[in-house]
Amino acid sequence: MDFSDSPDEAAYRAKVRAFLDANAEKRKPGEVAGYRRGQDAPGAVDAAKAFQRKKYEAGFAGIPWPKDWGGQGGTPIQQVIYNQEEANYKTHSNMFTIGLGMLMPTICTWGTQAQREQFVPQALRGDVIWCQLFSEPAGGSDLAALRTRAERDGDHWVINGQKIWTSGAHYSSYGCIVTRTDPTALKHAGLTYFWLDMKAPGVEVRPIKQASGAKHFNEVFFTNVRVHDSQRLGGVGDGWKVSITTLMNERYAAGETPGPDANELIELARILHNENGPLIDDTAVQEKIAEFYVRSQGLRFTKFRTMTRLSRGGTPGPESSIGKLVSASKQQDVAAYAMDLMGAAGSLTGADVPMAGAFEEALMWSPGLRIAGGTDEVLRNIIAERVLGLPGDVRLDKDVPFNKVPTGPKR
Amino acid sequence: MDFSDSPDEAAYRAKVRAFLDANAEKRKPGEVAGYRRGQDAPGAVDAAKAFQRKKYEAGFAGIPWPKDWGGQGGTPIQQVIYNQEEANYKTHSNMFTIGLGMLMPTICTWGTQAQREQFVPQALRGDVIWCQLFSEPAGGSDLAALRTRAERDGDHWVINGQKIWTSGAHYSSYGCIVTRTDPTALKHAGLTYFWLDMKAPGVEVRPIKQASGAKHFNEVFFTNVRVHDSQRLGGVGDGWKVSITTLMNERYAAGETPGPDANELIELARILHNENGPLIDDTAVQEKIAEFYVRSQGLRFTKFRTMTRLSRGGTPGPESSIGKLVSASKQQDVAAYAMDLMGAAGSLTGADVPMAGAFEEALMWSPGLRIAGGTDEVLRNIIAERVLGLPGDVRLDKDVPFNKVPTGPKR
Amino acid sequence: MNFDFPDELKELRAEAKRFLTAKCQPVVARKILDHGGSFDRALWKEMAAMGWLGASIPEAHGGAGLGHLAVCALAEEIGYAIAPVPYASTVYLGAEALMLYGSEAHKAAYLPKIASGATIATLALAEQPGPVVLDRLKARFADGRLTGAKLGVVDGDSADIAIVVALDARRGASLCVVDLKAAGVKRETVQTVDPTRSHANISFENAKAELLDGARGPADVRRLIDRGAVMMAFEQVGGAQAALDRAVAYAKERYAFGRPIGSFQAIKHKLADVYVAVELARSNAYYGAWALNSSAAELPVAAACARVSASDAGWLATKENIQTHGGMGFTWEGDAHLYYRRAKHLGLALGGSSEWKRRLMGELKSRNTSAMAD
Amino acid sequence: MNFDFPDELKELRAEAKRFLTAKCQPVVARKILDHGGSFDRALWKEMAAMGWLGASIPEAHGGAGLGHLAVCALAEEIGYAIAPVPYASTVYLGAEALMLYGSEAHKAAYLPKIASGATIATLALAEQPGPVVLDRLKARFADGRLTGAKLGVVDGDSADIAIVVALDARRGASLCVVDLKAAGVKRETVQTVDPTRSHANISFENAKAELLDGARGPADVRRLIDRGAVMMAFEQVGGAQAALDRAVAYAKERYAFGRPIGSFQAIKHKLADVYVAVELARSNAYYGAWALNSSAAELPVAAACARVSASDAGWLATKENIQTHGGMGFTWEGDAHLYYRRAKHLGLALGGSSEWKRRLMGELKSRNTSAMAD
């Protein structure tokens, strides 16, 4: 039992570090990584694309993919090592997470050889960014409740409807969309999956301003958008199956969101004072920070256990839901507690406040972490059903045609 | 807004105190009241009966009941005042809670004039104790899933089956029982309610040893127990409706279970020391106790608000579930925390350990508090549905005959 | 036992709810969020006209003379409406300080103007992040002059006067009233997590100030804060109730998997827990109101319980309201974040929960055993 | 990255599970509960025969020489089986103390007998309720004699020898080994919340004792406790896992309202939370095992994280196992309370969570910033 890299892993890590040192800016000690911090800055997309090209050229794009997908034929653990190292640098590779992590594997699995050759290399090179058009206003946690229609018209399909929470739609060239092609079929049976050009006529992208004020997501409206039948991935009515391929790969793609944690609380508690001295010497503060620290360490070593499984050729299972479930609430609680310690002046925001305002920022982004990519409630269901094997809930939406499923007063 | 009694209430309280001082032993300062502490001691039942007789003679039995039920025609607030005061004395009036609090109101509501005259006065006088035969092994939170059969035989009914969690069955003279008279009817429709003599042939009472080691509850087995049709309360098939009368009155009857709380933690923290002095000066301990204290105060004043409503002629609603829901877990958490502070020696039990072992006792009884009389989960359902008006869960057991409701491998 | 508001104050609260339902939907707070402007002046004027600003001020000083319980009743509704007005600063703290400790001249000078809405007041306390330690404040009052700097003063940019906590050589922590338009006062608007309530950093350089002579040291300053905390607890409880009500309403009408999401125990039990927290907080606030109104010796304990309970309930209710709304809860357009921001602001404005828990235990541990066995 | 047990230890663990599933169902612990008898002697003998008692003891001293990771692997299964045997006292603490700090003579005298099951050892530490403050212990060692009294010593009634923590004039807190059958030793069996593990109060009146010379003060005593805590954390995790497995199994087969109770989110989300706690605890225990096995400088931090995490998981899993079982969970005949009792016992045996959290922060706050940014 040890933490150290095997000699091969160590050599790979050294190669990665050399590449990153040469091509990216390292985060300063004590500088807190934040949720998509800086991603909205002007030029960020171009810089991200340029950096992805360098990764591609240096052999760090598609690390564990088979060579005939255009990948490096490496191991999952190499990908993990790369990700660990890149996390110490200021990059915006998350713009490529959906395309490379989720959609290209789907295209490689369900698409034609021609599609694979058309899309995968340019995605790996960073020439284009992809987005995933799944969620809808009426959907939410109930992803399959989507209503965006695709109706056949000769060799084409005509898409009408609305998607929401589309990450990066505003800088994406292409997208993958699940549509309802038969509303009279059962909910999961009437769906069909396509790729499409985000610049096609009738596609309108509107940014969503989040509660934190940032705009990382979009609504995307479809008005008579025509896609050719050759853009279909999988059979008509197979959309749910194809979507599952995309979503299964989400587990590989999803990382923990960086943000302030127990170590930052310790730093904060060194700065703040009560009448007896620095708060770090106050046992009440110590006990609370210790609780966060223990939880963070538990997550860290749980990840090490998963990596070990990967490194032996295993795959991450639904138990990886632990990371997101625990860390999202932890970030919210850490942020709230830090502000509580700062007291009456704790609501101030901006670069002048302790830890450059990282806690206040986290207060506003963390509620989103508990929702995006599977709510706390959905993750607990996944753990209960897929890990513990507990029975599913009673379903009212399984055995009736989709257009007969109750939807309530609000659609 | 004030806490003080009105002049009438104050006069009543004075009368109550005078009665109690003359007839019961007051708890010493610092002595922690425990869950049914001392109820199992030899002679406790006789003493409880004798004390109930004194209450009756002094006019403190059935305080808010109408005079034609044999009550005092008093007010609910008088009953609350009486209960508050009696809580400071070592009595075992809880042996009468079910009979007087729940079953006599049911008999008065659904029984004949003759039954009322037969049973109510002797119950008020403390001559007899009643028990409630509702829960069954296959029932639990799903009370109406009971299977104990009553089959008609001329003017009689023949009862076969098993009840469980029957409080005080071993010292009760009579009981009220809900039985299934038609298993082919819907779950809630096939039930019928009777009173019966606990000494009747075929009734066998076996004590249940609880996890804490105490024996307050029983299993009761029925083998061809014959009850006359005149012992029926309500119509054949009305058993659920009659049970509701009993259960509605549980809200009046249910008090908070006494046990160690924040004040006892403060006392404990004065005794225990770390290297810096008494734990009461340790801010980590302070913060934790403060949290318990705030919760306890919240409960206390919530009860005052309910009392105010009572005192104005209102009735306690489902929101009184708050008290049991919060206090049961709080007792468990207080006990666990106290033992944590005592550290390596914290698992010792008995009269020699701090606070005479009250915390360790509470550790073992508190899990039962979270279950008996409505689990935490049932109480949250009640609050969500009856107070907040949220929709009920999907029901698979409502529209099918009882004998077709799925029961799984374990019955 | 009469642990409730008297009927006339229930009527006042019902009136306030009617008024605010009509005039102060969340869109009013959103206007400040999106367009700035410190506070909603129209609403403030109407509140003045209805006598809300002078609710606790005696009629002799231009107020409505309704007493502190009336302020509590109004505060709950103002909290429910997340009204973007300097009510807490002006009424719970500013007017309160003047009434408690001001000279007759101060009262005559300021209270009528506060009641009429002409003067906005606030309390300037914190100087740096962390718990406020009264006897280590750096602001100094001497010879009618104040020097120092205060951080994140609520309504500091719109207030006309501030009650400033500063050290006086003889008394220690004291209160003085300062005209914020006077020479030597500089203010800078600053951003906080709740942009619907404006804040400023204020510095005082030998600024003209008058001592509130009735406050004779830190205990009296604490008393002001305790009293303010009780009134603010009602505002917090109101906000928590609003967040709960919105979550419940959404859970009833939003469907997933063919059923209202409120039929799933994950949602209904969460909201039951929020309900419990709000009710416990309300009960503790009632106790605080009793102590405030009767000037009981229990005030420090009652205020701490009320504040801790209300801050916790506000946090729980508003964050779980976002969660219940799912993605929509996390949009700028949705109102859920307005409640969340406000709850956090109020939960910090008079100090965080950890400070108040310590203070509570400081009180409790000095009590003797027998007094506690109630 | 190889953050897992080596294959041969996984095999050992699987064997242990097979053995304990066959030989140590909860009825074995229940026998002690209902009939007393300190521990299950038959089981203990078999464990000795399989080499479990000497797993960490070198072959030169009669052990199996499997190392500490093997003890961790076995501990998890022993915890899962709530085995009523003095394994923790003898192996994690007794043998460990002798191996760490005993002279060659001590090792030769005691370790072979421990490995063979002939000698049961334990650690005697606490003297009164509350956190243990090493340099304020009252037990005194001088001139080969020990005087003092220890409270609630685990397995104190069945142990043959005790490692006693006592103050030595020169070294401060030290460790000495005492034959519990020697003159001047009195023991009294005492009751605890876990009657399936026996305890005794032990007093020493000028009893013969030998110093474990390798332990040169409180830091070395702490090191012993830290190492013991890591091994015990595995036992705690095993118990938590068992409680979770039992709750899950029951939730699948018990029906209410026409459905398995495990299909209700109130139950399934509760159990998901338990699963998460158990996994985090297991991961922290692994880190502890790494630090234990590699004698890393991180041991104090790793041990504290492992212990706090395991104690919390044990408490949560066992109390919610009772809750999931409903009424049946609260009967004497049901086994749920056995897990609850054991979890609480283990969570206290080496000090409560609050003590360990403080110790953790004591370590962390002395680190410098850069070292923490990993």
Chain B, residues 156-185, CB within 8 A of chain D, namely 164-165
How close, in Å, is residue C374 to chain D by CA atoms?
Answer: 27
Judge: C279–B302 Cβ closer than 8 Å, yes or no.
Answer: yes
Rounded CA separation A261/A298 (Å): 13
More confident of the two residues A78 and D263: D263
Q: Specify whether the CB–CB gap between C152 and C126 falls below 8 A.
A: yes
* pLDDT of D373: 39
Q: Nearest by CB to D369, from A29, A389, A392: name it.
A: A29
* pLDDT of B58: 96
Mean of pLDDT values over B183-209: 96
Phi–psi pair at C150, nearest 5 degrees: -120, 145
pLDDT tens digits, one per residue of B56-102 = 999 999 998 888 888 898 887 888 889 889 989 988 888 998 999 89
Q: Nearest by CB to C361, from B286, B387, B389: name it.
A: B286
Phi–psi pair at D202, nearest 5 degrees: -125, 130
Task: Count CB-CB contacts under 10 A for residue C149.
Answer: 15
Rounded CA separation D279/D176 (Å): 37
User: Which class for B46: exposed (0-12), middle (13-18), buried (19 or more C-beta within 10 A)?
Assistant: exposed
Judge: C1–B394 Cβ closer than 8 Å, yes or no.
Answer: no
Residue count (chain B)? 411
Q: To the nearest whole percent, how much of chain C has pLDDT over 90?
A: 95
Mean of pLDDT values over B7-29: 93
Nearest CA in chain C to A284: C354
Residue D158: HSE in the Cβ half-sphere, 13 Å Cα cutoff: 22
Find, among A42, A85, A87, the residue nearest to A259 by Cα. A87
pLDDT tens digits, one per residue of C113-129 = 999 999 999 999 999 99
pLDDT tens digits, one per residue of C258-303 = 999 999 999 999 999 999 999 999 999 999 999 999 988 999 999 9
Judge: D269–C265 Cβ closer than 8 Å, yes or no.
Answer: yes
Judge: C130–A341 Cβ closer than 8 Å, yes or no.
Answer: yes
Nearest CA in chain A to C250: A410
Judge: C268–B388 Cβ closer than 8 Å, yes or no.
Answer: yes
* pLDDT of D102: 98
Residue B268: HSE in the Cβ half-sphere, 13 Å Cα cutoff: 33
- Report the residue of B267, B327, B380, B386 to disrupt the C interface, i.e. the one with the largest count of C CBs within 10 Å: B380
Question: Which chains reach chain D with 3 or more Cβ–Cβ distances below 8 angstroms?
Answer: A, B, C
pLDDT of B222 strictly over 90 = yes
Judge: D266–C264 Cβ closer than 8 Å, yes or no.
Answer: no
Rounded CA separation C60/D359 (Å): 60
Single-letter amino acid, residue C240: A
Per CB-CB distance under 8 Å, the chain D contacts of C266 are 265, 269
Q: Specify whether the CB–CB gap between D43 and D22 falls below 8 A.
A: no
Rounded CA separation A393/B4 (Å): 51
Phi–psi pair at B229, nearest 5 degrees: -60, -25
Rounded CA separation C149/C166 (Å): 10
Place of tokens 């302030």: A260
Question: Which chains reach chain A with 3 or more Cβ–Cβ distances below 8 angstroms?
Answer: B, C, D
Q: Nearest by CB to B390, from C251, C289, C354: name it.
A: C251
How close, in Å, is residue C217 to chain B by CA atoms?
Answer: 25
* pLDDT of D372: 41
Chain A, residues 368-387, CB within 8 A of chain C, namely 368, 370-372, 375-377, 380-381
Q: Is the minimum CB–CB distance between A290 and chain D shorter than 8 Å?
A: yes
Least confident of A293-297, B392-396, C140-144: B392-396
Which residues lie below 8 Å from residue B368, measured CB to CB, with a gap of 6+? B210, B211, B212, D330
* pLDDT of B251: 56
Place of tokens 């357009």: C333
Give the torsion through C-alpha atoms of B138, B139, B144, B148, to 10 deg: 50
Mean of pLDDT values over A23-27: 93
Q: Specify whether the CB–CB gap between B298 and C281 falls below 8 A.
A: yes
The predicted model scores a pTM of 0.95
B interface with A, Cβ–Cβ < 8 A, is 282-287, 393-394, 396
Mean of pLDDT values over A165-171: 92
Q: Mind listing the pLDDT tens digit of every residue in chain D (374 residues)?
A: 678 999 999 999 999 999 999 999 999 999 999 998 899 999 999 999 999 999 999 999 999 999 999 999 999 999 999 999 999 999 999 999 999 999 999 999 999 999 999 999 999 999 999 999 999 999 999 999 999 999 999 999 999 999 999 999 999 999 999 999 999 999 999 999 999 999 999 999 999 999 999 999 999 999 999 999 999 999 999 999 999 999 999 999 999 999 999 999 999 999 999 999 999 999 999 999 999 999 889 999 999 999 999 999 999 999 999 999 999 999 999 999 999 999 999 999 999 999 999 999 999 988 754 344 34
pLDDT of A252 strictly over 70 = no
Nearest CA in chain B to D340: B364
pLDDT tens digits, one per residue of C340-351 = 999 999 999 999
Q: Hey, which bits of D125-171 come out as E strands?
A: 140-142, 145-154, 161-168
Would you give the end-to-end CA distance of chain A in angstroms?
53
pLDDT of B11 strictly over 60 = yes
Cα–chain center distance at C203 = 23
pLDDT of B136 strictly over 80 = yes
For chain B, the average pLDDT equals: 91
Q: Nearest by CB to B284, from A283, A394, A396: name it.
A: A283
Per CB-CB distance under 8 Å, the chain D contacts of A83 are none
Phi–psi pair at D114, nearest 5 degrees: -65, -45
Rounded CA separation B20/B11 (Å): 14
Pure H helices in D216-352: 218-253, 265-293, 299-325, 336-349
With H, G, I as helix, E, B as strand and everything else as coil, classify residue D25.
Answer: coil
pLDDT tens digits, one per residue of A315-344 = 777 777 899 999 999 999 999 999 999 999
Residue C258: HSE in the Cβ half-sphere, 13 Å Cα cutoff: 16
Instruction: Please state the three-class secondary structure of chain B as a single string.
Output: CECCCCHHHHHHHHHHHHHHHHHCCECCCCCCCCCCCCCCCCCHHHHHHHHHHHHHHHCCCCCCCCHHHCCCCCCHHHHHHHHHHHCCECCCHHHHHHHHHHHHHHHHHHCCHHHHHHHHHHHHCCCCCEEEECCCCCCCCCHHHCCCEEEEECCEEEEEEEECCCCCHHHCCEEEEEEECCCCCECCCCEEEEEEECCCCCEEEEEECECCCCCCEEEEEEEEEEEEHHHEECCCCCHHHHHHHHHHCHHHHCCCCCCCCHHHHHHHHHHCEECCEEHHHCHHHHHHHHHHHHHHHHHHHHHHHHHHHHHCCCCCCHHHHHHHHHHHHHHHHHHHHHHHHHHHHCCECCCCCHHHHHHHHHHHHHHHHCCCCCCHHHHHHHHHHHHCCCCCCCCCCCCCEHHHCCCCCCC
* pLDDT of D65: 97
Mean of pLDDT values over B341-369: 93
Mean of pLDDT values over C49-72: 97
Per CB-CB distance under 8 Å, the chain D contacts of B281 are none
Rounded CA separation C260/B390 (Å): 9
Q: Which tokens in the block code for residue A104? A: 């290209």
Taking each continuous run of H as one helix and of E as one strand, the counts in chain D are 13, 10
Find, among A50, A389, A78, A111, the residue nearest to A246 by Cα. A111
* DSSP string over D174-210: EEEEEETTSTTEEEEEE-BS-TTS-EEEEEEEEEE-E
pLDDT tens digits, one per residue of A255-287 = 567 789 999 999 999 999 999 999 999 999 999
* pLDDT of A251: 56
